[in-house]
A and B are shown apart, each in its own frame.
Chain A
Amino acid sequence: MNHQFSPAALAAQIQSVGVDIEGVNLSYGSNHVLKDVNLAIKPGEFFAFLGPSGCGKTTLLRLIAGFNTAQRGEVRIGGRDISVLPPHRRDVGMVFQSYALWPHMTVRRNVAFGLEERRVPRAEIERRVDAALDLVGLRHLADRRPSQLSGGQQQRVALARTIVIEPKVLLLDEPLSNLDAKLRVQMRQELLSLQRKLGLTTIFVTHDQEEANTICDRIAVMEDGKVQQVGTPQDLYDHPANLFVAGFLGTANVLDGAVRDDGAGRRVFVGSGVTPVALPPSAGADAAGKLMFRPQNLIIRPDGGPPAPGHARLTGTIRHREFLGASIRYAVDVGGQLVQVDAPHQAGDALLAPDAPIVLDLAADKARLLRP
Chain B
Amino acid sequence: MTSLALTRDRIARVRPGPALAALLIAAFLLLFLVVPVVQVIFVAFQDKTTGAFTLVNFADFFRNDLFMRSFANSFYVSAMSVVVASLLALPLAYLTMRFEFRGAVLIQSLGIIPLIMPPFIGAVAMQLLFGRNGSVNLLLRDHFGVSIPFMEGLNGVIFVQSIHYFPFILINLSASLKNIDRAMEESAQNLGCHGFRLFRRIVFPLAMPGYVAGASLVFIKVFDDLGTPLLLNVNDMLAPQAYLRISSIGIADPMGYVISVVLIACSLLALWVSALAMRGKDYATVQRGGGGLAKRRLKPLELVAAYAVVLLILVLVLAPHVGLGLLSFATIWSFSPVPDAFTLKHYQTVFTESGQYITNTLLYASLAALLDVVIGTAIAYLVLRTKLPGRQWLDYIAMAALAVPGVVLGIGYLRSFYGVPMPFTGQPLSNFWLILVFALAIRRLPYALRACTAALQQVSSSLEEAAENLGATKLRTVGRIVVPLMSGGILAGFVTSFATAAVELSATIMLVHSQSDAPLAYGLYVYMQSAAGRGPGAALGVFAVVIVGLGTYLSHVVIERGRRERGQDH
Contact = CB atoms under 8 A, between A and B. Distances in A.
Contact, chains A and B (beta carbon distance below 8 A): yes
Interface of A: 62, 65-67, 84-94, 96-104, 113-114, 117-118, 145-148, 154, 161-162, 165
Contacts of A154: 288
B567 A88 contact: no
Given A88-B468, A89-B12, 13 more contacts: A65-B465, A66-B469, A67-B465, A93-B469, A96-B466, A100-B460, A100-B463, A102-B466, A102-B481, A117-B476, A145-B289, A147-B566, A161-B466
B505 to A, nearest CB: 38
10 contacts: A62-B465, A84-B12, A88-B471, A88-B472, A100-B463, A102-B466, A113-B472, A113-B480, A117-B470, A147-B570
Contacts of A118: 471
B466 A94 contact: yes
Contacts of A113: 467, 470, 472, 480
A67 B567 CA distance: 30
B64 interface: no
Interface in B534-570: 562, 565-568, 570
Contacts of B474: 86, 88
Given A85-B9, A147-B289, A92 B469 contact: yes
Contacts of A90: 469
A65 B466 CA distance: 10
Q: Which of A62, A91, A102, A154 has most chain B Cβ within 10 Å? A: A102
A84 B15 CA distance: 11
A162 B462 CA distance: 14
Contacts of A66: 468-469
Task: Determine chain B's interface SS by DSSP, over half rule.
Answer: helix
A91 B469 CA distance: 7
A147 B469 contact: no
B448 interface: no
B10 interface: yes
A86 B13 contact: yes
Contact of B470 (A84, A93, A98, A103): A93
Contacts of A88: 467-474, 476-477
Interface of B: 9-10, 12-13, 15, 287-290, 460, 462-463, 465-474, 476-477, 480-481, 484-485, 487, 562, 565-568, 570
A86 B288 contact: no
Nearest to B487: A104
B490 to A, nearest CB: 13
Contacts of B466: 94, 96, 100-102, 161
A100 B470 contact: no
A113 B473 CA distance: 12
B335 to A, nearest CB: 57
Contacts of A97: 462
B480 to A, nearest CB: 7
Nearest to B12: A86
Nearest to A118: B471
Nearest to A161: B470
A96 B468 contact: no
A87 B465 contact: yes
A144 to B, nearest CB: 9
Given A96-B462, A100-B460, A103-B288, A87 B469 contact: yes
Contacts of A84: 9-10, 12-13
A101 B10 contact: no
A341 B570 CA distance: 52
A102 B474 CA distance: 16
A67 B302 CA distance: 51
Contacts of B468: 66-67, 86-88
Nearest to A114: B470
A148 B12 CA distance: 37
A117 B485 contact: no
Contact of B287 (A85, A98, A114): A98
Nearest to A87: B468
6 closest pairs, A vs B, by CB? A103-B289, A114-B470, A100-B466, A147-B567, A87-B468, A100-B462
A117 B471 contact: yes
A86 B476 CA distance: 13
Contacts of A165: 470-471
Contacts of A89: 12, 471
Nearest to B567: A147
A86 B568 contact: no
Contacts of B566: 103-104, 145, 147
A117 B476 CA distance: 8
Nearest to B470: A114
Residue picked from B467, B565, B570, most chain A C-beta under 10 Å: B467
Contacts of A100: 288, 460, 462-463, 465-466
A96 B465 contact: yes
Given A86-B13, A145-B567, A147-B568, A101 B472 contact: no
Contacts of B471: 88-89, 91, 114, 117-118, 165
A120 B487 CA distance: 27
A65 B568 CA distance: 30
Nearest to B462: A100
A93 B473 CA distance: 15
B467 A104 contact: no
A100 B467 CA distance: 9
Contact of B567 (A87, A96, A103): A103
A306 B467 CA distance: 67
A104 B287 CA distance: 13
Contacts of B484: 102, 104
A79 B487 CA distance: 42
Nearest to A178: B288
